[in-house]
Structure 1
Amino acid sequence: MATFQIEGGHPLKGDIQPQGAKNEALQILCAVLLTPEKVTISNIPDIRDVNKLIQILSNLGVKIQKIKKGEFTFQSDDLQLDYLESEQFKTDGAGLRGSIMIVGPLLARFGKGYIPRPGGDKIGRRRLDTHFQGFINLGANFRYNREERFYGVEAPKGLTGTYMLLDEASVTGTANIVMAAVLAKGKTTIYNAACEPYLQQLCKMLNSMGAKITGVGSNMLHIEGVKTLGGCKHRVLPDMIEIGSWIGLAAMTKSEITIKDVSWDDLGIIPNTFRKLGITLERRGDDIYIPAHKDGYTIESYIDGSFMTIADAPWPGFTPDLLSIMLVTATQAKGEVMIHQKMFESRLFFTDKLIDMGAKIILCDPHRATVIGHNFKSQLKATTMTSPDIRAGISLLIAALSAKGTSTIHNIEQIDRGYENIDDRLRAIGAKIVRID
């Protein structure tokens, strides 16, 4: 298990380039299974979760060639489907939640798809019903081996388009169903579909391969099934979660940072939500400039004077992956804020580590925490802690970089799952951080 040692309390300065979006890459990589033709994808982040999925695709028989850093070609013209029922796949698939999204493409193209119950962050219940109910709606037969925790869907006569109303606007569920529906017979309508930019990117990529998807960017997608899809070239968007992480880091450490090439138009309400914490950020072309907040930042209140609540919601609402960042950033703001994590009941449990560092946080229940900001009058104290998941891990790293003294963070493999070479990139802007393997 690897560890970070961080000497905190130092302001940072410079430019930082966001990596390609993890959540988009996991969808896009699964889509290469829909065609026997060559697909070229660029701006793929070099992170654990994405690399695990690339290895699964390779084991499945996808021909993969690296062109340069972050750019690969994929060709799925001779797949080894027996791998799906092997013990090796049960191990590989169980270690990555994103592996669930290979099922839709395989079901659409080959009439069958299997997956072990996937892993991922331990942030609460993350059910898969939306995925499989969507496949059932399209005509697939579903089975679940409870003893081996193994899911299977089969459609030997092919899939048939239909109307469906999703019980939740699941991003991965919508992506999986869309990838199944593009090769189904007839028309599919998906209502209450997720409409995140990364899902839009998937739809745009599929359309460039010959799919017929309309309503992209809305919560109602219409899909006219086609017989085959061709190859394409696609570039992954910058990671909005990493961009939000750097905004929080800049404010907490009173640092002057420019985040380069952020694709502003795809950030939605993220910049304005950080502004609600009093953080100044400027748009400079396609960059975000954050000045050093030497005088701190003050949380806004509502018009009636009541204190601010920041909650997650399906897009275009605020993404749940950034609530941990908002919480840690608020610990040094002036004022109070309620953080309401509606989707996952275990995601706020890392606050006990921030409380140990001296943060003023009241964990009201598994979904809500009230933060009373220090206004930099009391610096967080260095401590030793363990990263429980990707987003809590980066939040603890931000806290450590702002704290007085040397902090230790164990289990940083969790951070590596979502952030590419984070220690090297932070050192480039002046952070005092050491990786110990």
Structure 2
Amino acid sequence: MGTFKIEGGIQLKGEITPQGAKNEALQILCAVLLTPEKVTITNIPDIIDVNKLIKLLGNLGVKIEKLAHGAYTFQADEVNLAYLESEGFKEEGKSLRGSIMIVGPLLARFGKGYIPKPGGDKIGRRRLDTHFEGFINLGAKFRYNREDYFYGVEADRLKGTYMLLDEASVTGTANIIMAAVLAEGKTTIYNAACEPYLQQLCKMLNSMGAKITGVGSNLIEIEGVEKLGGCEHRILPDMIEIGSWIGLAAMTRSEITIKDVSWDNLGVIPNTFRKLGITLERRGDDIYIPAHEDGYEIQNYIDGSILTIADAPWPGFTPDLLSIVLVVATQARGSVLVHQKMFESRLFFVDRLIDMGAKIILCDPHRATVIGHDFKSQLKGIMMSSPDIRAGISLLIAALSAKGTSTIQNIDQIDRGYERIDERLRALGAKITRED
């Protein structure tokens, strides 16, 4: 496991370009299994989770060619289905939560899909019921081996149907859509997720010959087709990384420009950070953040009550940025209640921030109240460990703003979601080193 050593309290300056979106890449890469023709994808982030999925696709028999940094072609014309029942697949699949999304494409095209119980961040319960209930509604038979936690679905030909999802699961919606595009007849999905990355998946599938309408809404309709063809697709910039850079700029009082952010796909993210008092300026498709020399002040509600920032399905605020909001609030003027509704273990990293000197009251597994220092009391550097991707980047931001030297262990968790994070921070002037 690697370690970061960070000398904090240094103002940064410069421009940074966000990587391709991790959550979109995991969906898009699985979609290449729907066609035997060549698919070209660009702006793929070079991060652990995505690279694991690319390796898994290669082991499945997908022909992969790297064209340039972040650009690949994929051709799934000789898929090795026997690999799905191998011990190697059981080990490989369970190390990556995104591997669940190979099941829909495999079921649609080959009539069967298997997956071991996938891993991912330890942030609480993350059910797979929505995925498999969707496949069952389309006519698949479900089986589950409790001894080795192995899931399977099989069907001769899927049939379109109406379904009301019990939760607006992003990966569940993506998986069901990929299964339904080759099903017989019409499929209607109500309470579908509608995140920009899911919209991107639908646009890609339509360019391959699928017939999907209602893209961007919570009511998706799909007319099944016989086959799909190849396409070219470019992945959006990662909105979670963009939010992370906003938080970094504010906490370190740095002047930073975030390039090519695809503003129209950021939703409420810019305004949520503005509620924390952070100044953001739109310059073309860039975000300019000035150095907050006088700090930033949290807005209260009109009646004077404390601001609450909570996560919600799109177009609400993404849960992946609540940990960034929480750490940014530790140096604001004022207080904020952070309400993490969707995962019950995601706030448990706050003990590290408290050890650094932050004023945080953990009310319960879902809520934390943060009383800002207004930079009158600087956080202090400590030794800590990264529990998951988003908590890891939040602790890194805290360390960059803190007085003294911090050590962050288990940085593989950060590398899972952020490409060459230490190199890119050094380009802004940060003092950060990586030790194995």
TM range (shorter): over 0.9
Q: With structure 1 as the length reference, what TM-score do the two structures score?
A: 1.00
CA distance in 2, matches of 1:105, 1:80: 14
CA distance in 2, matches of 1:214, 1:225: 12
In the alignment, does 2:275 pair up with 1:302? no
The amino acid of 1:76's aligned partner reads: A
How far does residue 391 in structure 1 lie from its aligned partner after superposition?
Answer: 0.1
How far does residue 423 in structure 1 lie from its aligned partner after superposition?
Answer: 0.1
The amino acid of 1:232's aligned partner reads: C
Q: What whole-Å deviation, never above 9, does each CA across 1:107-138 have from its counterpart, x for those lacking one?
A: 00000000000000000000100000000000
CA distance in 2, matches of 1:40, 1:389: 31
**In structure 1, what is the equivalent of residue 175 of structure 2?**
176
The amino acid of 1:402's aligned partner reads: S
Q: What whole-Å deviation, never above 9, does each CA across 1:19-49 have from its counterpart, x for those lacking one?
A: 0000000000000000000000000000000
CA distance in 2, matches of 1:178, 1:431: 43
**In structure 2, what is the equivalent of residue 188 of structure 1?**
187
**In structure 1, what is the equivalent of residue 148 of structure 2?**
148
**In structure 1, what is the equivalent of residue 375 of structure 2?**
376
Q: Secondary structure at the match of 1:234?
A: strand
The amino acid of 1:372's aligned partner reads: I
**In structure 1, what is the equivalent of residue 315 of structure 2?**
316
CA distance in 2, matches of 1:29, 1:401: 34
Matches within 5 A, 1:111-260: 111-156=111-156, 158-260=157-259
Matches within 5 A, 1:23-422: 23-156=23-156, 158-422=157-421
**In structure 2, what is the equivalent of residue 434 of structure 1?**
433
The amino acid of 2:7's aligned partner reads: E
CA distance in 2, matches of 1:254, 1:304: 30
How far does residue 56 in structure 1 lie from its aligned partner after superposition?
Answer: 0.2
The amino acid of 1:59's aligned partner reads: N
How far does residue 352 in structure 1 lie from its aligned partner after superposition?
Answer: 0.3
CA distance in 1, matches of 2:384, 2:290: 30
CA distance in 1, matches of 2:329, 2:177: 38
Q: What whole-Å deviation, never above 9, does each CA across 1:200-252 have from its counterpart, x for those lacking one?
A: 00000000000000000000000000000000000000000000000000000
The amino acid of 1:203's aligned partner reads: C
CA distance in 2, matches of 1:144, 1:370: 41
How far does residue 364 in structure 1 lie from its aligned partner after superposition?
Answer: 0.1
The amino acid of 1:138's aligned partner reads: L
CA distance in 2, matches of 1:131, 1:333: 41
Percent sequence identity is: 83
How far does residue 261 in structure 1 lie from its aligned partner after superposition?
Answer: 0.1
Corresponding residue pairs, total: 436
The amino acid of 2:346's aligned partner reads: R
Q: Secondary structure at the match of 2:413?
A: helix
Q: What whole-Å deviation, never above 9, does each CA across 1:172-222 have from its counterpart, x for those lacking one?
A: 000000000000000000000000000000000000000000000000000
How far does residue 153 in structure 1 lie from its aligned partner after superposition?
Answer: 0.1
CA RMSD of aligned residues (A): 0.2
CA distance in 2, matches of 1:335, 1:324: 18
CA distance in 1, matches of 2:142, 2:79: 22
Q: Mind listing any 5+ residue stretches in structure 2 that lack a counterpart?
A: none
CA distance in 1, matches of 2:354, 2:392: 15
How far does residue 143 in structure 1 lie from its aligned partner after superposition?
Answer: 0.5
How far does residue 344 in structure 1 lie from its aligned partner after superposition?
Answer: 0.4
